[in-house]
């Protein structure tokens, strides 16, 4: 995870903390104000998480695993 955050931070000239904060803000907004359709909520519910809203780490892990399964990509 750290490698992902560092790469994004370097690319955008910000700190790792800023990357995590901005990602979490975007995830929070998406989960608190989803479009008015069942599809979005159903897709959101696929993301494994401990709380009501996934952390940035949980969200990235889910996305990475989904890509690995669908495209056979390796780390």
| For the chain, percent of residues with pLDDT exceeding 70 | 96
Task: State the average pLDDT over residues 38-43.
Answer: 89
Domain-wise residue ranges, the chain:
2-71
pLDDT band at 74 (very low <50, low <70, confident <90, very high): low
Sign of CA dihedral 71, 5, 8, 50: positive
Give, in order, the Cα–Cα distances in Å from 34 to each of 7, 13, 38, 47, 71: 29, 30, 9, 15, 27
Q: What is the mean pLDDT of the chain?
A: 92
pLDDT of residue 75: 52
Task: State the average pLDDT over residues 12-38.
Answer: 94
pLDDT of residue 51: 96
pLDDT at 73 over 90: no
């Amino acid at each position: 995870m750290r490698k992902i955050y560092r790469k994004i931070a370097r690319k955008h000239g910000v700190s790792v903390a800023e990357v995590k904060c901005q990602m979490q803000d975007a995830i929070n907004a998406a989960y608190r104000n989803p479009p008015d359709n069942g599809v979005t909520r159903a897709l959101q519910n696929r993301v494994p998480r401990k709380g009501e809203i996934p952390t940035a780490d949980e969200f990235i892990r889910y996305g990475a695993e989904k890509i690995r399964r669908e495209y056979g990509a390796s780390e």
